[in-house]
Structure 1
Protein backbone atom coordinates (compact mmCIF):
# COMPACT_ATOMS: atom_id res chain seq x y z
CA UNK A 1 0.00 0.00 0.00
CA UNK A 2 1.34 3.39 -0.96
CA UNK A 3 2.18 5.89 1.73
CA UNK A 4 2.72 9.61 1.52
CA UNK A 5 5.47 11.24 3.55
CA UNK A 6 4.72 14.75 4.74
CA UNK A 7 7.32 17.38 3.98
CA UNK A 8 8.90 18.30 7.29
CA UNK A 9 8.47 21.70 8.90
CA UNK A 10 11.85 21.71 10.60
CA UNK A 11 14.87 23.16 8.83
CA UNK A 12 18.13 21.23 9.20
CA UNK A 13 21.43 23.06 9.18
CA UNK A 14 22.71 23.62 5.67
CA UNK A 15 26.02 21.96 6.48
CA UNK A 16 24.12 18.82 7.54
CA UNK A 17 22.15 18.84 4.29
CA UNK A 18 25.37 19.04 2.26
CA UNK A 19 27.17 16.39 4.28
CA UNK A 20 24.23 13.96 4.43
CA UNK A 21 23.24 14.08 0.78
CA UNK A 22 24.06 10.77 -0.87
CA UNK A 23 23.46 9.27 -4.28
CA UNK A 24 20.82 6.69 -3.33
CA UNK A 25 20.19 3.84 -5.74
CA UNK A 26 17.69 1.70 -3.80
CA UNK A 27 14.36 3.21 -2.75
CA UNK A 28 11.37 2.21 -0.67
CA UNK A 29 8.74 1.58 -3.37
CA UNK A 30 5.88 2.08 -0.90
CA UNK A 31 6.71 5.78 -0.44
CA UNK A 32 4.88 8.14 -2.73
CA UNK A 33 4.77 11.93 -2.93
CA UNK A 34 1.72 13.98 -3.81
CA UNK A 35 1.80 16.44 -6.66
CA UNK A 36 1.76 19.27 -4.14
CA UNK A 37 4.77 17.83 -2.31
CA UNK A 38 6.73 17.48 -5.52
CA UNK A 39 5.78 20.99 -6.63
CA UNK A 40 6.91 22.41 -3.30
CA UNK A 41 10.34 20.81 -3.77
CA UNK A 42 10.55 22.06 -7.34
CA UNK A 43 9.44 25.56 -6.34
CA UNK A 44 12.33 25.80 -3.88
CA UNK A 45 14.74 24.30 -6.41
CA UNK A 46 13.67 26.86 -8.99
CA UNK A 47 14.97 29.66 -6.75
CA UNK A 48 18.38 28.74 -8.22
CA UNK A 49 20.22 31.42 -10.21
CA UNK A 50 20.26 31.39 -14.01
CA UNK A 51 21.79 33.47 -16.76
CA UNK A 52 19.83 36.74 -17.04
CA UNK A 53 17.25 35.11 -14.74
CA UNK A 54 15.80 33.41 -17.82
CA UNK A 55 15.14 30.19 -15.83
CA UNK A 56 15.32 27.87 -18.85
CA UNK A 57 14.71 24.69 -16.83
CA UNK A 58 11.59 22.61 -17.26
CA UNK A 59 10.64 19.53 -15.21
CA UNK A 60 8.94 16.41 -16.54
CA UNK A 61 7.79 14.38 -13.52
CA UNK A 62 7.51 10.68 -14.29
CA UNK A 63 5.63 8.98 -11.47
CA UNK A 64 3.15 6.36 -12.65
CA UNK A 65 4.18 2.71 -12.58
CA UNK A 66 3.43 2.38 -16.29
CA UNK A 67 5.60 5.32 -17.30
CA UNK A 68 8.45 4.39 -14.96
CA UNK A 69 8.43 0.92 -16.54
CA UNK A 70 8.57 2.63 -19.93
CA UNK A 71 11.54 4.68 -18.77
CA UNK A 72 13.41 1.70 -17.29
CA UNK A 73 15.07 0.38 -20.48
CA UNK A 74 15.76 3.94 -21.65
CA UNK A 75 17.72 4.44 -18.41
CA UNK A 76 19.63 1.18 -18.94
CA UNK A 77 17.51 -0.77 -16.42
CA UNK A 78 18.68 1.11 -13.34
CA UNK A 79 16.49 -0.14 -10.49
CA UNK A 80 15.93 3.30 -8.95
CA UNK A 81 13.77 4.23 -11.92
CA UNK A 82 10.94 1.93 -10.84
CA UNK A 83 11.60 1.95 -7.07
CA UNK A 84 11.70 5.74 -6.53
CA UNK A 85 8.55 7.74 -5.95
CA UNK A 86 9.27 9.75 -9.08
CA UNK A 87 11.93 10.44 -11.65
CA UNK A 88 12.38 14.08 -12.57
CA UNK A 89 13.59 14.69 -16.11
CA UNK A 90 15.34 18.06 -16.01
CA UNK A 91 15.04 19.68 -19.43
CA UNK A 92 16.46 22.86 -20.88
CA UNK A 93 14.10 25.05 -22.91
CA UNK A 94 15.93 26.57 -25.88
CA UNK A 95 13.10 29.10 -26.19
CA UNK A 96 12.96 29.87 -22.49
CA UNK A 97 14.39 33.35 -23.07
CA UNK A 98 11.12 34.30 -24.76
CA UNK A 99 9.57 34.46 -21.28
CA UNK A 100 11.79 37.44 -20.41
CA UNK A 101 8.77 39.76 -20.68
CA UNK A 102 6.99 37.65 -18.06
CA UNK A 103 10.05 37.41 -15.80
CA UNK A 104 10.94 41.10 -15.80
CA UNK A 105 7.32 42.21 -15.90
CA UNK A 106 6.66 40.34 -12.66
CA UNK A 107 9.77 41.92 -11.14
CA UNK A 108 8.36 45.34 -12.00
CA UNK A 109 4.93 44.49 -10.57
CA UNK A 110 6.59 43.48 -7.30
CA UNK A 111 8.50 46.73 -7.16
CA UNK A 112 11.92 45.17 -7.73
CA UNK A 113 12.65 47.50 -10.67
CA UNK A 114 10.96 50.35 -12.57
CA UNK A 115 8.66 49.31 -15.40
CA UNK A 116 10.75 51.03 -18.06
CA UNK A 117 13.88 49.21 -16.93
CA UNK A 118 12.03 45.89 -16.87
CA UNK A 119 10.85 46.46 -20.43
CA UNK A 120 14.36 47.41 -21.53
CA UNK A 121 15.87 44.31 -19.88
CA UNK A 122 13.28 42.05 -21.46
CA UNK A 123 13.79 43.47 -24.95
CA UNK A 124 17.57 43.24 -24.65
CA UNK A 125 17.44 39.68 -23.30
CA UNK A 126 15.14 38.42 -26.05
CA UNK A 127 17.25 40.07 -28.72
CA UNK A 128 20.56 38.83 -27.30
CA UNK A 129 19.53 35.22 -26.68
CA UNK A 130 17.70 35.01 -29.98
CA UNK A 131 20.92 35.91 -31.80
CA UNK A 132 23.22 33.51 -29.94
CA UNK A 133 24.86 30.64 -31.86
CA UNK A 134 23.24 27.32 -31.02
CA UNK A 135 26.30 25.92 -29.24
CA UNK A 136 26.60 28.94 -26.94
CA UNK A 137 22.89 28.93 -26.11
CA UNK A 138 23.06 25.21 -25.32
CA UNK A 139 26.10 25.70 -23.11
CA UNK A 140 24.25 28.33 -21.08
CA UNK A 141 21.22 26.07 -20.77
CA UNK A 142 23.34 23.10 -19.65
CA UNK A 143 25.02 25.29 -17.02
CA UNK A 144 21.70 26.57 -15.68
CA UNK A 145 20.23 23.06 -15.78
CA UNK A 146 23.12 21.71 -13.74
CA UNK A 147 22.69 24.44 -11.13
CA UNK A 148 18.96 23.80 -10.66
CA UNK A 149 19.54 20.03 -10.57
CA UNK A 150 22.00 20.32 -7.70
CA UNK A 151 19.66 22.68 -5.89
CA UNK A 152 16.80 20.19 -6.27
CA UNK A 153 18.89 17.43 -4.73
CA UNK A 154 19.82 19.63 -1.76
CA UNK A 155 16.21 20.78 -1.32
CA UNK A 156 15.05 17.16 -1.33
CA UNK A 157 17.61 16.21 1.35
CA UNK A 158 16.57 19.20 3.48
CA UNK A 159 13.01 17.85 3.41
CA UNK A 160 14.07 14.32 4.29
CA UNK A 161 14.06 12.80 0.82
CA UNK A 162 16.76 11.11 -1.19
CA UNK A 163 17.92 11.49 -4.78
CA UNK A 164 20.44 10.32 -7.32
CA UNK A 165 21.45 12.19 -10.48
CA UNK A 166 21.39 9.99 -13.55
CA UNK A 167 23.37 10.73 -16.69
CA UNK A 168 23.07 7.13 -17.87
CA UNK A 169 20.12 7.15 -20.25
CA UNK A 170 19.43 7.36 -23.97
CA UNK A 171 18.43 10.97 -24.59
CA UNK A 172 17.11 10.28 -28.09
CA UNK A 173 14.85 7.47 -26.89
CA UNK A 174 13.75 9.56 -23.89
CA UNK A 175 12.54 12.30 -26.21
CA UNK A 176 10.82 9.84 -28.53
CA UNK A 177 9.09 7.89 -25.74
CA UNK A 178 7.80 10.92 -23.85
CA UNK A 179 6.99 13.23 -26.75
CA UNK A 180 9.70 15.78 -25.93
CA UNK A 181 10.22 18.10 -28.88
CA UNK A 182 13.59 19.29 -30.16
CA UNK A 183 12.92 22.58 -28.40
CA UNK A 184 14.02 20.87 -25.16
CA UNK A 185 17.46 19.55 -24.20
CA UNK A 186 17.59 16.65 -21.71
CA UNK A 187 19.96 17.69 -18.91
CA UNK A 188 19.66 14.75 -16.53
CA UNK A 189 17.27 12.41 -14.73
CA UNK A 190 16.91 12.64 -10.95
CA UNK A 191 15.32 9.81 -8.98
CA UNK A 192 13.41 11.08 -5.95
CA UNK A 193 12.05 9.17 -2.97
CA UNK A 194 12.97 7.57 0.36
CA UNK A 195 16.05 5.37 0.63
CA UNK A 196 15.56 1.65 1.23
CA UNK A 197 19.32 1.44 1.68
CA UNK A 198 21.53 4.42 2.53
CA UNK A 199 23.85 5.71 -0.12
CA UNK A 200 27.38 4.53 0.55
CA UNK A 201 29.91 7.00 1.98
CA UNK A 202 32.38 8.49 -0.47
CA UNK A 203 35.64 10.39 -0.24
CA UNK A 204 36.74 13.64 -1.84
CA UNK A 205 40.10 14.87 -3.06
CA UNK A 206 41.95 17.07 -0.55
CA UNK A 207 40.92 20.68 -1.04
CA UNK A 208 44.58 21.72 -1.23
CA UNK A 209 44.99 19.47 -4.29
CA UNK A 210 42.15 21.10 -6.22
CA UNK A 211 42.31 24.77 -5.15
CA UNK A 212 44.70 27.36 -6.56
CA UNK A 213 44.87 31.00 -5.49
CA UNK A 214 45.53 33.61 -8.15
CA UNK A 215 47.47 31.39 -10.55
CA UNK A 216 47.61 27.80 -11.72
CA UNK A 217 50.61 25.68 -10.75
CA UNK A 218 53.45 25.42 -13.23
CA UNK A 219 53.95 22.24 -15.27
CA UNK A 220 50.43 20.93 -14.62
Structure 2
Protein backbone atom coordinates (compact mmCIF):
# COMPACT_ATOMS: atom_id res chain seq x y z
CA UNK A 1 0.00 0.00 0.00
CA UNK A 2 1.44 3.35 -1.00
CA UNK A 3 1.45 6.20 1.49
CA UNK A 4 0.86 9.66 0.08
CA UNK A 5 3.59 12.15 0.81
CA UNK A 6 2.98 15.68 2.09
CA UNK A 7 2.76 18.34 -0.60
CA UNK A 8 6.18 19.67 -1.51
CA UNK A 9 4.79 23.21 -1.43
CA UNK A 10 4.02 23.05 2.27
CA UNK A 11 6.45 24.61 4.69
CA UNK A 12 7.37 22.67 7.79
CA UNK A 13 7.30 24.93 10.82
CA UNK A 14 6.69 23.89 14.42
CA UNK A 15 3.01 24.33 15.15
CA UNK A 16 3.48 26.55 18.17
CA UNK A 17 5.73 28.87 16.16
CA UNK A 18 2.95 29.19 13.60
CA UNK A 19 0.26 30.16 16.09
CA UNK A 20 2.56 32.52 17.99
CA UNK A 21 3.86 34.26 14.86
CA UNK A 22 0.45 34.76 13.26
CA UNK A 23 -0.58 38.41 13.30
CA UNK A 24 -3.44 40.34 11.74
CA UNK A 25 -1.56 42.21 9.02
CA UNK A 26 -3.13 45.29 7.45
CA UNK A 27 -0.28 46.48 5.21
CA UNK A 28 0.80 44.23 2.32
CA UNK A 29 3.46 44.25 -0.36
CA UNK A 30 1.40 44.69 -3.55
CA UNK A 31 4.25 43.25 -5.67
CA UNK A 32 3.87 39.79 -4.14
CA UNK A 33 1.56 37.47 -6.05
CA UNK A 34 0.43 34.08 -4.82
CA UNK A 35 -0.07 31.58 -7.63
CA UNK A 36 -3.43 29.97 -8.18
CA UNK A 37 -1.77 26.61 -7.54
CA UNK A 38 -0.60 27.71 -4.11
CA UNK A 39 -3.94 29.31 -3.25
CA UNK A 40 -5.64 26.03 -4.12
CA UNK A 41 -3.20 24.17 -1.86
CA UNK A 42 -3.90 26.56 1.01
CA UNK A 43 -7.63 26.06 0.57
CA UNK A 44 -7.22 22.29 0.33
CA UNK A 45 -5.39 22.20 3.65
CA UNK A 46 -7.90 24.59 5.22
CA UNK A 47 -10.79 22.32 4.28
CA UNK A 48 -9.40 19.61 6.54
CA UNK A 49 -11.13 21.57 9.32
CA UNK A 50 -14.01 19.83 11.12
CA UNK A 51 -17.66 20.51 10.35
CA UNK A 52 -21.05 19.39 11.63
CA UNK A 53 -21.81 15.90 10.26
CA UNK A 54 -18.83 16.47 7.91
CA UNK A 55 -21.15 18.42 5.60
CA UNK A 56 -18.49 21.07 4.94
CA UNK A 57 -20.79 24.06 4.30
CA UNK A 58 -17.91 26.43 3.52
CA UNK A 59 -17.54 27.90 0.06
CA UNK A 60 -14.83 30.32 -1.12
CA UNK A 61 -14.85 33.14 -3.62
CA UNK A 62 -11.19 34.00 -4.27
CA UNK A 63 -10.76 37.55 -5.55
CA UNK A 64 -7.29 38.10 -6.99
CA UNK A 65 -7.57 40.37 -10.03
CA UNK A 66 -6.77 44.08 -9.62
CA UNK A 67 -10.09 45.08 -11.19
CA UNK A 68 -12.21 43.03 -8.80
CA UNK A 69 -10.16 44.04 -5.78
CA UNK A 70 -10.80 47.68 -6.72
CA UNK A 71 -14.50 46.88 -6.95
CA UNK A 72 -14.33 45.32 -3.49
CA UNK A 73 -12.47 48.29 -1.95
CA UNK A 74 -15.45 50.60 -1.25
CA UNK A 75 -17.53 47.62 -0.09
CA UNK A 76 -14.82 46.98 2.52
CA UNK A 77 -14.94 50.64 3.58
CA UNK A 78 -11.70 51.46 1.73
CA UNK A 79 -9.47 49.19 3.81
CA UNK A 80 -6.27 49.19 1.75
CA UNK A 81 -5.35 45.58 2.51
CA UNK A 82 -8.13 44.61 0.10
CA UNK A 83 -6.18 45.96 -2.89
CA UNK A 84 -2.63 45.51 -1.56
CA UNK A 85 -2.92 41.84 -0.59
CA UNK A 86 -2.28 39.13 -3.17
CA UNK A 87 -5.85 37.92 -2.84
CA UNK A 88 -8.97 38.24 -0.77
CA UNK A 89 -10.80 35.04 0.14
CA UNK A 90 -14.49 35.56 0.76
CA UNK A 91 -15.66 32.80 3.09
CA UNK A 92 -19.28 31.88 2.44
CA UNK A 93 -21.67 29.44 4.07
CA UNK A 94 -23.85 27.25 1.86
CA UNK A 95 -27.30 27.25 3.46
CA UNK A 96 -28.30 24.33 1.23
CA UNK A 97 -25.19 22.29 1.92
CA UNK A 98 -27.32 19.25 2.73
CA UNK A 99 -27.50 18.82 -1.06
CA UNK A 100 -23.89 17.61 -0.90
CA UNK A 101 -24.59 14.88 1.67
CA UNK A 102 -24.97 12.10 -0.89
CA UNK A 103 -21.73 13.07 -2.62
CA UNK A 104 -19.78 13.39 0.65
CA UNK A 105 -20.95 10.10 2.11
CA UNK A 106 -20.59 8.42 -1.28
CA UNK A 107 -16.93 9.44 -1.29
CA UNK A 108 -16.58 8.01 2.23
CA UNK A 109 -17.87 4.67 0.92
CA UNK A 110 -15.46 4.77 -2.04
CA UNK A 111 -12.59 5.51 0.33
CA UNK A 112 -13.51 2.50 2.48
CA UNK A 113 -14.38 4.62 5.51
CA UNK A 114 -17.91 3.26 5.91
CA UNK A 115 -20.22 0.65 4.37
CA UNK A 116 -22.77 1.77 1.78
CA UNK A 117 -25.77 1.01 3.96
CA UNK A 118 -24.37 3.19 6.75
CA UNK A 119 -23.80 6.05 4.32
CA UNK A 120 -27.34 5.71 2.95
CA UNK A 121 -28.76 5.77 6.47
CA UNK A 122 -26.76 8.87 7.39
CA UNK A 123 -27.80 10.73 4.24
CA UNK A 124 -31.45 9.98 5.00
CA UNK A 125 -31.05 10.96 8.65
CA UNK A 126 -29.36 14.30 8.02
CA UNK A 127 -31.59 15.17 5.06
CA UNK A 128 -34.63 14.66 7.26
CA UNK A 129 -33.08 16.57 10.14
CA UNK A 130 -32.08 19.56 8.03
CA UNK A 131 -35.49 19.72 6.35
CA UNK A 132 -37.11 20.28 9.75
CA UNK A 133 -34.55 22.73 11.14
CA UNK A 134 -35.37 26.45 11.24
CA UNK A 135 -33.33 28.54 8.78
CA UNK A 136 -31.57 30.36 11.61
CA UNK A 137 -30.23 27.07 13.01
CA UNK A 138 -28.81 26.13 9.61
CA UNK A 139 -27.29 29.61 9.30
CA UNK A 140 -25.67 29.22 12.73
CA UNK A 141 -24.09 25.93 11.70
CA UNK A 142 -22.68 27.62 8.59
CA UNK A 143 -21.21 30.41 10.70
CA UNK A 144 -19.67 28.00 13.20
CA UNK A 145 -18.11 25.79 10.54
CA UNK A 146 -17.11 28.87 8.53
CA UNK A 147 -15.21 30.17 11.55
CA UNK A 148 -13.39 26.86 11.93
CA UNK A 149 -12.26 26.75 8.31
CA UNK A 150 -11.28 30.43 8.37
CA UNK A 151 -8.95 29.99 11.33
CA UNK A 152 -7.43 26.92 9.72
CA UNK A 153 -6.89 28.85 6.49
CA UNK A 154 -5.03 31.61 8.33
CA UNK A 155 -2.80 29.12 10.13
CA UNK A 156 -2.02 27.25 6.91
CA UNK A 157 -1.12 30.55 5.26
CA UNK A 158 1.20 31.42 8.14
CA UNK A 159 2.86 27.99 7.94
CA UNK A 160 3.58 28.71 4.27
CA UNK A 161 5.11 32.10 5.08
CA UNK A 162 2.14 34.30 4.19
CA UNK A 163 0.21 36.80 6.25
CA UNK A 164 -3.52 37.28 6.65
CA UNK A 165 -6.16 39.41 8.29
CA UNK A 166 -9.80 38.48 8.83
CA UNK A 167 -12.17 41.27 7.81
CA UNK A 168 -15.62 41.53 9.33
CA UNK A 169 -16.08 45.22 8.59
CA UNK A 170 -17.66 45.32 5.15
CA UNK A 171 -21.10 45.81 3.64
CA UNK A 172 -22.26 42.22 3.33
CA UNK A 173 -25.40 42.99 1.42
CA UNK A 174 -23.53 45.14 -1.08
CA UNK A 175 -20.87 42.45 -1.40
CA UNK A 176 -23.48 39.81 -2.22
CA UNK A 177 -25.14 42.08 -4.76
CA UNK A 178 -21.93 43.26 -6.45
CA UNK A 179 -20.49 39.77 -6.85
CA UNK A 180 -23.87 38.28 -7.79
CA UNK A 181 -23.97 35.72 -5.00
CA UNK A 182 -27.34 34.07 -4.54
CA UNK A 183 -29.32 33.88 -1.31
CA UNK A 184 -28.31 30.24 -1.06
CA UNK A 185 -25.10 31.55 0.55
CA UNK A 186 -24.35 33.70 3.56
CA UNK A 187 -21.26 35.88 3.76
CA UNK A 188 -19.16 35.00 6.80
CA UNK A 189 -15.95 37.02 6.45
CA UNK A 190 -13.24 38.22 4.09
CA UNK A 191 -9.62 37.14 4.55
CA UNK A 192 -6.84 39.14 2.92
CA UNK A 193 -3.72 37.07 2.19
CA UNK A 194 -0.27 38.09 1.02
CA UNK A 195 3.14 39.19 2.30
CA UNK A 196 3.34 41.84 4.97
CA UNK A 197 4.84 45.23 4.05
CA UNK A 198 4.74 46.05 7.76
CA UNK A 199 4.50 43.42 10.46
CA UNK A 200 1.29 43.12 12.41
CA UNK A 201 1.65 44.72 15.81
CA UNK A 202 1.82 42.47 18.88
CA UNK A 203 -1.30 42.27 21.01
CA UNK A 204 -2.17 41.20 24.53
CA UNK A 205 -4.49 38.43 25.59
CA UNK A 206 -6.54 38.00 28.71
CA UNK A 207 -5.12 35.48 31.15
CA UNK A 208 -6.67 32.02 31.09
CA UNK A 209 -7.96 32.73 34.61
CA UNK A 210 -10.05 35.53 33.11
CA UNK A 211 -11.67 33.44 30.40
CA UNK A 212 -11.79 29.81 31.55
CA UNK A 213 -13.86 28.24 34.30
CA UNK A 214 -13.82 24.67 35.49
CA UNK A 215 -17.10 22.90 36.18
CA UNK A 216 -19.08 26.05 37.00
CA UNK A 217 -19.14 29.63 35.82
CA UNK A 218 -18.13 32.53 38.01
CA UNK A 219 -21.08 34.27 39.65
CA UNK A 220 -19.61 37.71 38.95
TM over 0.5: yes
- How far 1:97 moved relative to its partner? 1.3
- CA deviations over 1:118-154 (Å, ceiling 9, x no partner): 1111111122112210111111111000110011000
Distance in 2, Cα, partners of 1:81 & 1:92: 21
Shift of 1:10: 3.5
Does residue 140 of the first structure (1) align with residue 141 of the second (2)? Answer: yes
Aligned-partner Cα distance in 2 for 1:122–1:37: 33
**Pairwise CA RMSD of aligned residues?**
1.0
What residue is the counterpart of 2:163 in the other structure? 162
Q: Structure 1 CA distance, aligned partners of 2:67 and 2:132?
A: 41
CA apart distance, 1:210:
1.0
Provide the rounded CA distance (Å) in 2 between the counterparts of 1:211 and 1:22.
Answer: 23
**Is contact 1:90-1:190 (8 Å) kept?**
yes
2:22: which partner in 1?
A: 21
Question: What SS does structure 2 have at the residue aligned with 1:31?
Answer: coil
Q: Does the 8 Å contact 2:9/2:38 carry over to 1?
A: no
C-alpha deviations, 1:73-114, integer Å up to 9, x for none? 000000000000000000000011110001111001111011
Moved over 3 A (4+): 7-10
For residues 27-66 of structure 1, the aligned pairs below 5 Å read 27-66=28-67
Aligned 8 A contact 1:101 1:123 in 2: no
The within-5 A match list for 1:102-113 is 102-113=103-114
Aligned-pair CA distance for 1:201? 0.3
1:118 maps to which residue? 119
In the alignment, structure 1 segments of 5+ residues that lack a partner are 1-6
TM-score, scaled relative to structure 1: 0.95
